[in-house]
Amino acid sequence: MPRHVVVGGHVMTTVEEVLEHYQPHKDTMPLAQWRRVRPLAVQAVRAAGYTSVHGAHFALKAVAQFLAWADDGGVQLLPDVAFTPDLVERFCATRGKDLSDRTVANYRSSLRSAARAVTKTAPWPPLPKQYADHVHLAPPYTPAEIAAFWECARSQATPHRERVMTAMLALGLGAGLRVSEVLAVSASTHIRLHPRDHRLCVDPGGPNRPRPLDLRACGARPLRALPGGSSDRSPQGEH
């Protein structure tokens, strides 16, 4: 995409040039009305911080049309009066009768960006934090909770279930393995003695994707105490 736009014979290569020279076509907006809405339109788009001339050009076009629509409805051309969520949605609903859904979505996005940037008291909700819905960090387990987990393992109905839960706790609490990694680990392939001392190590990535992790004492001791120690086919026993 070219890094410039041409409007009214002006070649604009910077955002500031777009803000300086943009003018709607006279068939879409009378010059007198553009003079009324221009100060707020330029202020809002500049506040939105566009770095692309095409982004700034489209935003200024959308904001100018929105403010002209608001002006026709008798709305005062002040940031916190004109740029409200309700007015933006009403404008987009009106424009949606003539434009494609994609274009209306672009108008809405540009108007919301400009509105959030230029208003102070209008009731715009804050933008969601990036990745906020993807990462949920729980607080560490307390000593009492960990003790209860071990007690639960010792209270299983059969030796096999006790062995499975003990191994899962040992690898989860001792090395921080995820459940999917615990289920994939085998003693013969993934668990070994540290080369320099008697610590146990677990490598959930295996030989193709090595990721060795030291087992903390809280996990190593129960794992050693399982029948067969760390030499069994898998920490969980036969499946």
Give CA–CA dist 74/69, Å, rounded: 9
Q: What local confidence, expressed as pLDDT, does residue 230 receive?
A: 46
Which tokens go with 184? 């994939």
pTM for this model (two decimals): 0.56
The domain total for the chain is 2
Q: What local confidence, expressed as pLDDT, does residue 234 receive?
A: 43
Q: Are residues 109 and 161 in the same domain?
A: no
| Domain limit, last residue, from 66, 85, 118 | 118
Considering the domain boundaries, does residue 127 fall inside one? no
Q: Are residues 50 and 100 in the same domain?
A: yes
**Domain region containing 170:** 143-231
Considering the domain boundaries, does residue 128 fall inside one? no
Instruction: Taking residues 194-221, report their average pLDDT.
Output: 63
CA atoms within 13 A on the CB side of 162: 11
Mean pLDDT score across all residues of the chain: 81
Q: Are residues 225 and 152 in the same domain?
A: yes
Q: Are residues 11 and 109 in the same domain?
A: yes
Q: Are residues 113 and 163 in the same domain?
A: no
| Domain limit, last residue, from 118, 134, 161 | 118
Q: How far is CA 168 from CA 197, 206, 218, 231, in A?
A: 24, 18, 12, 16
Q: Are residues 49 and 100 in the same domain?
A: yes
Other CB atoms within a 10 A radius of the CB of residue 106 amount to 15
Q: Are residues 88 and 157 in the same domain?
A: no
| pLDDT band, residue 232 (cuts 50/70/90) | very low
Instruction: Taking residues 195-202, report their average pLDDT.
Output: 65
Considering the domain boundaries, does residue 135 fall inside one? no
Q: Are residues 152 and 113 in the same domain?
A: no
Considering the domain boundaries, does residue 85 fall inside one? yes
Considering the domain boundaries, does residue 13 fall inside one? yes
- Counting beta carbons within 10 angstroms of the beta carbon of residue 138, is it exposed (0 to 12), middle (13 to 18) or buried (19 or more)? exposed
Selected residue with higher pLDDT from 208 and 233: 208
Q: Are residues 107 and 154 in the same domain?
A: no
Q: What local confidence, expressed as pLDDT, does residue 113 receive?
A: 95
Q: Are residues 162 and 202 in the same domain?
A: yes
Residue closest to 116 by CA, chosen among 39, 15, 206, 45: 45
Residue 83 has pLDDT above 60, yes or no: yes
Task: Enumerate residues 6+ apart whose C-beta is below 8 A from 124.
Answer: 85, 112, 115, 116
Q: Are residues 148 and 213 in the same domain?
A: yes
Other CB atoms within a 10 A radius of the CB of residue 111 amount to 25
3-state secondary structure the chain: CCCCEEECCEEECCHHHHHHHCCCCCCCCCHHHHHHHHHHHHHHHHHHCCCCHHHHHHHHHHHHHHHHHHHHCCCCCCHHHHCCHHHHHHHHHHHCCCCCHHHHHHHHHHHHHHHHHHCCCCCCCCCCCCCCCCCCCCCCCCHHHHHHHHHHHHCCCCHHHHHHHHHHHHHHHHHCCCHHHHHHCCHHHHEEECCCCCCEEECCCCCCCCCCEECCHHHHHHHHHCCCHHHCCCCCCCC
Considering the domain boundaries, does residue 160 fall inside one? yes
Considering the domain boundaries, does residue 126 fall inside one? no
Q: Are residues 79 and 38 in the same domain?
A: yes
| Domain limit, last residue, from 63, 84, 118 | 118
Considering the domain boundaries, does residue 173 fall inside one? yes
